Amino acid sequence: MFEELGFAQKQRLAYIDFCLLFKGSIYRQDLINRFEVGLSAASRDFNIYKEFAPKNLSYDSREKRYFQTEQFLPLFEHDAKRTLVKLANDISDGFDAIGDVHFPVESPSSLNVPDIFIVARLVQAILNNKAVNVIYTSLSSGSGARELVPHSIVDNGLRWHIRAFDRKSQSFRDFVLTRISKVSIKNTPEAHELVEVDKEWQRLIPLQLVPHPKNVDYPTAIEMDYGMENSQLLIEVRASMTGYLLRRWNVDCTERGTLIGAEYQLWLQNRFTLRDIENLAIAPGHKE
């Protein structure tokens, strides 16, 4: 029955679910104002929500408001990472709605915000499987035209970049979004320029992270921070993203965990997995 509902109605039900989960209550008028529906339609949405999750909300006739119950279990799966990002950036929609309430969540400052029109053109190229001409400013050669075949947009923790095949170097590389000043969509790429051929993107690297053996006095705290099991965190990361993650988390990549400093709270125990990975110069303590 739930799958038979339309997308718009699912959005409204998700908004009810979100408000109950994060705000603890919701007025019928909140739904009316957010989605510009009539009173009867809003009442119908609450009735449908109660059919799927009757124990999630109770109505207070005096305050004319629905409240979360002690038995509340979210009807929708709210992605934690996406929700936090949207809360921090004051973005609201049906599935990650925040309404008009200010939540005490802050995001760290970024170097710069990519031009939305640049991003839009790149997304169009990716979705329509097209190459692009761009004006790109690099640290080594300055500004110049490049032909790229982008396949993914990535947040590396510090800034946004695109992963693309570079026709100049005939290789897959990362290009910082804020350094792109112009984009024009071009022809259809060749087979060797597609994401399936990007070996560093397709290859997953297993990382075994443990509390640093020298810099951490109470390793239990680090185990709790990273949700470790048996005093270790086992994750898989794309080879092309490995260096970014190791730098972002300040993971000591030396052979015996010899980096000293409070910022190094993690040590890469299976260092041998980093063989044959490109762009590892930014990984703390890594040496070929």
Instruction: Dump pLDDT digits (tens) for 100-116.
Output: 444 455 555 566 677 77
* Cα distance between residue 165 and residue 148, in whole Å: 5
**CATH number of the domain within which 17 lies:** 1.10.10.10
The neighbouring-strand residues paired with 205 are: 237
Q: Are residues 230 and 192 in the same domain?
A: no
At residue 89, the pLDDT reads 56
Q: Residue 224 sits in which domain range?
A: 203-274
How many structural domains compose the chain? 3
Q: Please state the rounded mean pLDDT for residues 237-265.
A: 95
The verdict on residue 284 lying in a domain is: no
Q: Are residues 138 and 188 in the same domain?
A: yes
pLDDT tops 60 at residue 87 = no
At residue 62, the pLDDT reads 94
pLDDT tops 50 at residue 97 = no
pLDDT tops 60 at residue 94 = no
Q: Are residues 184 and 228 in the same domain?
A: no
Task: Name the least confident of 48-62, 80-94, 166-180, 200-214.
Answer: 80-94
| Structure-derived torsion over alpha carbons of residues 33, 39, 40, 44, reported in degrees to the nearest 10 | 50
* pTM attached to this predicted model: 0.67
> Domain end: 197, 221, 254, which one?
197
The verdict on residue 252 lying in a domain is: yes
Residue 214, CB half-sphere, CA atoms under 13 Å: how many? 12
At residue 109, the pLDDT reads 58
Q: Among 128, 112, 133, 130, which Cα is nearest to 182's?
A: 133
The verdict on residue 70 lying in a domain is: yes
The verdict on residue 101 lying in a domain is: no
Strongest mean pLDDT among 95-99, 160-164, 266-270: 266-270
| Structure-derived torsion over alpha carbons of residues 33, 39, 45, 46, reported in degrees to the nearest 10 | 90
Q: Are residues 65 and 135 in the same domain?
A: no
Q: Please state the rounded mean pLDDT for residues 140-151.
A: 94
The verdict on residue 51 lying in a domain is: yes
Residue 56: DSSP 8-state: S
At residue 82, the pLDDT reads 63
The verdict on residue 109 lying in a domain is: no
Top pLDDT among 229 and 123 is at 229
> Domain end: 139, 164, 197, which one?
197
> Domain end: 175, 197, 219, which one?
197
